[in-house]
């Protein structure tokens, strides 16, 4: 089977949507990938386009918009959901997104921290050792130059990695 278009959930379980998109593009370079998201997480559009995705779409998009997106990317054109595009422009205001410097796992840990989970809960949720989660937590804070969960929450809200 050689798909022409694939819809990949940004926050899918397992290797994650970004990893799945990269792996699919390696195996099927002619397959157009559309990343779909349940909420407007603004860290991911750039990363998905860097990974070779041709489209980025909200799960709340009407069916006709989804069909338009599939048609666009199947013709080799890029498609960017208007809700996502306007949110990206609104959030950026010329500021660089610090979350783009993080690995996918560090971003995932930051998103869960910003949503109110502690290291223990994140460890359980992701099935990783507590020590590993603490290492991701510490490394992420160092990379984005913050000291506290409150600072993380402010950045997360500003750059849209969480809506909570």
Sequence-ordered list of residues with C-beta below 8 angstroms from that of 117, at least 6 positions apart, any chain: 125
pLDDT score, position 92: 54
Give the tens place of pLDDT for each residue, 7-48. 998 888 777 888 888 888 889 888 999 989 886 666 677 777
Same structural domain, 85 and 103: no
Q: Where are the beta strands (DSSP E) in 76-158?
A: 79-80
Give dist(CA 78, CA 75) in Å, integer: 9
Q: How confident is the model at residue 61 (pLDDT cuts 50, 70, 90)?
A: confident
Residue 109 pLDDT level (bands cut at 50, 70, 90): very high
How many distinct structural domains can be found in the chain? 2
Q: What is the mean pLDDT of the chain?
A: 84
Q: Which of 6, 13, 1, 15 is nearest to 34 (CA)?
A: 6
Rounded to an integer, what distance in angstroms lies between the CA atom of residue 162 and that of residue 157? Answer: 6
CATH number reported for the structural domain that contains residue 123 in this entry: 1.10.10.10
107 vs 83: CA distance, rounded Å: 22
Confidence (pLDDT) at 119: 96
> Which domain-ending residue is among 92, 112, 135?
92
Residue 164 domain flag: no
Does one domain contain both 23 and 84?
Answer: yes
**Do 108 and 81 fall into the same domain?**
no
**Predicted TM-score (pTM) of this structure:** 0.55
Instruction: Tell me the per-residue pLDDT of 70-82, one tens digit each, with 9 for 90 and over.
Output: 998 998 888 887 7
Q: Which residue has the tokens 């969480």?
A: 162
Residue 87 reports pLDDT greater than 70: no
Residue-number span of the structural domain to which 81 is assigned: 5-92
Task: Evaluate if residue 123 carries a pLDDT over 90.
Answer: yes
Q: Are residues 122 and 77 in the same domain?
A: no
- Predicted confidence band of residue 51 (pLDDT cuts 50, 70, 90): confident
- Structural domain contains residue 128: yes
| 50 and 33 assigned to the same domain | yes
């Amino acid at each position: 089977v050689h798909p022409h278009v694939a819809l990949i959930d940004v926050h899918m379980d397992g290797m994650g949507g970004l990893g799945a998109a990269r792996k699919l593009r390696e195996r099927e370079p002619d397959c157009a990938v559309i990343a779909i998201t349940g909420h407007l997480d603004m860290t991911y559009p750039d990363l998905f386009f860097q990974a070779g995705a041709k489209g980025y779409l909200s799960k709340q998009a009407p069916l006709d918009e989804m069909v338009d997106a599939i048609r666009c990317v199947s013709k080799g054109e890029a498609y960017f959901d208007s809700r996502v595009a306007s949110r990206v422009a609104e959030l950026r205001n010329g500021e660089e997104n610090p979350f783009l410097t993080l690995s996918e796992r560090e971003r995932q840990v930051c998103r869960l921290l910003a949503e109110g989970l502690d290291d223990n809960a994140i460890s359980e949720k992701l099935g990783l050792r507590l020590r590993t989660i603490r290492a991701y937590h510490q490394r992420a804070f160092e990379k984005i130059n913050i000291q506290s969960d409150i600072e993380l929450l402010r950045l997360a809200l500003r750059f849209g990695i969480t809506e909570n």
